[in-house]
Structure formats: structure tokens, C-alpha cells
Structure 1
Amino acid sequence: MAIGLRTMLIGYARVSTREQDNEAQIDALEKSGCELVFKEKASGSRWDRPELLRLLDQLRKGDVVVVWKLDRLSRSLKDLLMLMEKIAGAGAGFRSLTESIDTTSAGGRMMMQIVGSFAEFERAMLRERTRNGLDAARIQGRIGGRRPKLKEGQKAEILSLVAAGSKTAAEAARLFGVHPSTVSRLLKQAEAP
């Protein structure tokens, strides 16, 4: 579709993972009047989003970029404001359907900045709570992450089998039902001073 000089509503729909579905976003964007919708499956914190870059390259004066929700465009206020500058630099506007933000008016621009600030504050609070929870768990002797596949005795047995030459690393991995990289990491840790 050729983009002319008339005002055009251009949608941007993004989900973070391949498992997620952006059909609800696309439906809302099309119902709001978007003639063109760019669809992306990528994290909002990444800058290498080809569909977003294509959208920004095609923006013309008077166009309006429409998203279903503000965080579909970016997760950080800094990045969001940079994107808003690029959109404004092209002479285009921005609209978020969920937050009812429309930067084609002064009130909409102010509201976008307020909502973006609250969203960033919420993410910072979540990071802080997570960090505090992990610190408290460490103090209590709990360590986060995946449980080890091998017990200490099994690790010692693998080291002994491989050192004696009776099993290769791959054979030891099969014997204990773990991935070969698990055994390789164990052997490297044992070699380290």
C-alpha cells in the first residue's frame, strides 16, 4: 500500500515471545481505523525491532502511530520518550488505545509523560522487591535458580570415572541422565585452581 500525504493511522502490535498471540491487539488496532499494522514478536526492551524500524521509516507528516497499550511500544520511559521524539520529528502523532493517550493535543502529550513515568516507577518497584526477596533468601541460605541435576556424590563419581578413563564425558552424561554440557561444566570446574 502506498503511503500518501493524507493522514494515515498506522498500528504497531508487539508480543514478547513466539508463544504469545497478538491477534487481540491487531483486532483493536484495525477497529480503531488503522489501515496498516506492523506486527512484531520481540522484547520491548530491544532496539533491534525490524518492524518498528520499518514503521518509523515510513512515517509521514500527519500520520498517527497507534498502539493497543503503551508498553507495546517500549518498556522504558527513556526509550519511549526517544521514540516519541522520532515520531514527532517525522511530524506524526501517537495514540495509545488502552491509556487513551493522543499526542496530537497538548493534554495528550502531558498525559503520555505521566503514564510513562508511572509505568517506569512500577517496573522499578518490581525490580526492587525481587532484589529484596533474593537477598532475604540468600541470608536464609536459599539460593535461587534451577536445582542442580547432580548430587555431590554423583559429581564425585563422574569425576572419578572420567579421570580413570573408564568413561568419556559423553558416556558419563548418558549414564547419569544429564546433558553432556553439564558434565563438561563439572570437569572444567574441577580443573580450575
Structure 2
Amino acid sequence: MQLDALKAVNCDMIFKDHGVSGTKANRSGLDAMLDGLKAGDTVVVFKLDRLGRSVLHLADLLVRFQNDGIHFCSISEGINTTTPGGKLVYHLFSAFAEFQRDIIAENTIAGLAAAKRRGSKLGRPPKLDIEEILAAQRLIRQEQISTSEAARRIGASRATLARNLKNFDMS
């Protein structure tokens, strides 16, 4: 049905992702199509849900198409960005995508703030504990070895040890 509809509107090239869920991030047909697009091309789909894996993904693709000078047409929904009505739909999707991204960012910031208030330690755990830093510092001072050699002995990279020594300097 989809192929018949695309052929009926004389599509030059048809990209397929047969048997691949639309929710998958990597879809070889979609990726190949996106790689080959250039300004002035028109992307035609049977239905909107055949293109994006989510409303946000679809909106991001439509914004990308607009920015790259690529037209978009959805046969079933009657969307065509070369028409005033199609441009309106594009702007609605664009606004929705921006709204969705803002909500995600706002929720992330609120979640991090709540975690901090609960006393959660955020970020990557330290590679070296205080005992390892002190041991390396003693090796460097008492045995007069290099930071690189001290790092090798405690099982850390030179950069990690140097950064920790700098942050912990008790001179």
C-alpha cells in the first residue's frame, strides 16, 4: 500500500526499512536517505509515523529539512511544505519540538536540584581515594620519583594523579 502510494506520486527513489521497528534509532533506509538529501529535494512519506520514531524525532527531522532547504510531503495527511498550509504544519511541529526540549531540560535541572538537596553526589565517582593520593604524594616526596612513576605504581594515569595532587595539594 505504501509503495503503491509512493509510486503513484512518481517518487524517484524509495528508501525502505522493512522489518525494522520505527522506534529504533538506527534505521539503514532512513540513514541512507538523510545522507543523500540536498537542497531542493522533497522527502515524501505515506504517513508521518513512517518517518520519525517519535513526535520529537519527527519534528527535529522537519526542522532539519527546513534548515537544509528540503521540502516535505506526507501523502495521507496532505502535508506539503511548499504550500502555505504545509508551512503552517512545519511551524507547529517546530514549536512543539522546541517546547518538548525545553520541558526535558527543565525536568532534568529540577531532578538534579532535588538529588543535590537529598545529598546525592552527582557526577562521576572519583578515580582515586584519599589514601591513594596520599600514598602517591609520599612516593614522590620520599622516593623522589616522577608523577608518572607514582601513577604507575598506584594504578592510575599520570593525568589523573596530577589533577588529584593539584586539587589536594597540602604544601
2:134 corresponds to which of 149, 156, 165: 156
> What is aligned with 2:26?
21
8 Å CA contact 2:42, 2:72 repeated in 1: yes
User: CA offsets, 1:115-144, max 9 Å, x none?
Assistant: 121111111111111111111111222221
5+ residue gaps in structure 1? 1-6, 12-19, 30-36, 40-50
How far, CA to CA, are the matches of 2:68 and 2:82 in structure 1? 14
8 Å CA contact 1:93, 1:102 repeated in 2: yes
Normalising to structure 1: TM-score of the pair? 0.56
Equivalent residue runs for 1:74-85 within 5 Å: 74=60, 80=63, 84=66
> What is aligned with 1:138?
116
8 Å CA contact 1:9, 1:66 repeated in 2: no
How far, CA to CA, are the matches of 2:58 and 2:142 in structure 1? 56
Structure 1: which 4+ aligned runs deviate by more than 4 Å?
Answer: 7-11, 72-75
Work out whether 1:127 is the aligned partner of 2:109: no
Aligned residue for 2:119, secondary structure, equals: coil
1:23 and 1:163, CA in 2 relative to 1: closer, same or farther beyond 3 A? same
5+ residue gaps in structure 2? 1-10, 16-24, 46-50
The count of aligned residue pairs is 144
How far, CA to CA, are the matches of 1:174 and 1:143 in structure 2? 28
> What is aligned with 2:81?
103
Could you say what the CA RMSD is over the residues aligned between the two structures, in angstroms? Answer: 3.9
Normalising to structure 2: TM-score of the pair? 0.62
Equivalent residue runs for 1:58-77 within 5 Å: 59=40, 63-65=41-43, 68-69=51-52, 71=57, 74=60
Q: Which has the higher contact order (CA 8 A, sep 6+)?
A: 1
Identity of aligned residues (%): 30
